Copies of this chain bind each other. A is one copy, B any other.
């Protein structure tokens, strides 16, 4: 952990800055919420509590797809449409780091140049380090902070590698899967779990001599999606095509999202889903705190290394060891 003192604002400075839509202060508040320092976390918690009544008024949209599918270009082009219609857009990234290399997959966001210079858009690159409790919890807080700052459309971008999609699905209203034409059956097999979560599939790069393949893929995916049971909300996922290059199909996907939102609000599913997500967040937060309380406990620091050694040597089982460590703390209280 990094214990170098950081420049922090006062609670009031954060509150006023966010309410006034100050992008720099919003960025600093997100950094605060991403921090692992106890003092930062405490202030971030307070900040969220004070802003809570001004949150929730956005359309939260998850966008996923494998590297190369064209997520950045799509987000740039759609972002231009949305902001020109008067919406304020925040683009966040959930970046699952590679298990082995711990490297960043999404990389920096400098590639979204035109959005970065758009006064009605706010782009937040991925958190650079894994904090206790995981990226997802920070992203939930970031969503609330952006909403409090007046952003009414939130994009949460991730790559199609499995676990991060589940996280993102749990914090958005609409989940959009970007796919390429020309992917075989094998690909569809892998993506099944992710396709099941999608509210719409968008086939990108429908331009030049790729148009025909895109149309074929569209009907293939549409039939594939029919294999799944309709979602509890009764929404049947749609498959659309687009060309970010030629700016085609962007209006259609935005209209579809609007249609989804209207329908879901009418049936009450929109609110139901938000409620469920809040409860899920609570349980993520509980688990995160249970772990951090345990691992930061002085008795754990004192006993852990010796007990790990016994587990390694085969003197005791992992289960016995866990039992010992936990009862040490429970008896002390």
Contacts and interface: CB of A to CB of B under 8 A. Distances in A.
Interface of A: 45, 48-49, 52-53, 55-56, 66-68, 98-101, 140, 160-163, 166, 180, 182-187, 189-193, 196-197, 228-229, 275, 278-279, 281-282, 284-291, 293-294, 307-308, 311-312, 314, 316-323, 325-326, 330, 333
B186 A161 contact: no
Contacts of A228: 100
Number of copies: 2
B185 A184 contact: no
A278 B318 CA distance: 7
Given A68-B189, A281-B311, A290-B294, 17 more contacts: A45-B319, A45-B320, A45-B323, A49-B317, A66-B190, A98-B192, A99-B166, A140-B318, A183-B186, A183-B187, A278-B311, A282-B321, A285-B318, A286-B294, A286-B325, A289-B323, A290-B291
A50 to B, nearest CB: 10
A289 B187 contact: no
Contacts of A68: 185-186, 189
A190 B189 contact: no
A326 B183 contact: no
A329 to B, nearest CB: 10
15 contacts: A49-B320, A56-B314, A140-B318, A161-B162, A162-B162, A162-B163, A182-B184, A190-B190, A282-B308, A286-B326, A287-B290, A288-B322, A290-B291, A293-B326, A330-B333
A133 to B, nearest CB: 10
A312 B162 contact: no
Most buried by B among A55, A184, A197, A322: A322
A212 to B, nearest CB: 17
A196 B318 contact: no
A273 to B, nearest CB: 12
